[in-house]
Structure formats: structure tokens, C-alpha cells
Amino acid sequence: MNIDVYKLMHLLGLVLLFQSLGATLFAYLAGSGASESPHKKMLMSMHGIGLLLLVFGGFGMAARLGIMAALPGWIWLKICIWLLLGSSLYFVKKKPETARLWWFLIFTLGFVAAYLGLFKPF
């Protein structure tokens, strides 16, 4: 596939992931947990599909760029960020009082991931 298809897949995954994280965290911050939300199934589906699109698009781009043999450090850090974003809702569900902290942490992780993808510093 063309690298632009992988980029589009990656960006769509990004939108789905952050939209689902924002909506779920907002439900926790508003006082009603996501488990009581009538939209829980949709939000969890968006979260999972977003994560899958991100990883498939990201590794597809890496393969097209020819850097799959020895992954650079910035890709390993992005994988760690992906794992943190993927598990963030689990941690918020277990400790809802940390939702505000996760709100800012997710923003920061998104910024760092974007920086790494754009500038590839190491």
C-alpha cells in the first residue's frame, strides 16, 4: 500500500483514540463513571479500533520507510506511549479520582508522540 494510506489510517486512529479518551474521562470528571454511560460500548469500541488503526498505520509507515529491521529509539518510545494510552482507561476505572491527572497526562503523551513522529529525534 501507499504510505499515504498508512498515514491516513494512523490519523484516523489518532482521532478515534483521543475522542474516546476525552469522552470517557469527561464522564468520570462530571461525576458519572463511564460504566453507567449508555454509550460505554461505543466508546470502548472507538478506543480499541483507534488503537488498532494507530499500530497498523504506524508499523505500515515504518515498513514503507524501510526502518523495520532495527527500530529507532523514537519508535520504541511511541510504542510505550501507545501502551500507556491503551491502558489508561483501565487505570481510571480502577481509581476514578485520578481522572483529572489522566486528563493532563493524556494531553502530554499525545504531544510527545506527535513530537517524536514529526522530528524523529533519536
Segments making up each domain of the chain, as ranges: 3-119
Nearest to 28 by CA among 88, 84, 108: 88
CA distance 25 to 30: 9
Could you count the other beta carbons within 10 Å of the beta carbon of residue 91?
15
Over range 94-100, report the average pLDDT: 93
pLDDT reported for residue 35: 64
Tens digit of each residue's pLDDT (9 = 90 or more) over 25-73: 998 888 776 666 678 899 999 999 999 999 999 999 999 999 988 999 9
- pLDDT at position 119: 97
Question: Can you read off the three cell numbers belonging to residue 33?
Answer: 463513571
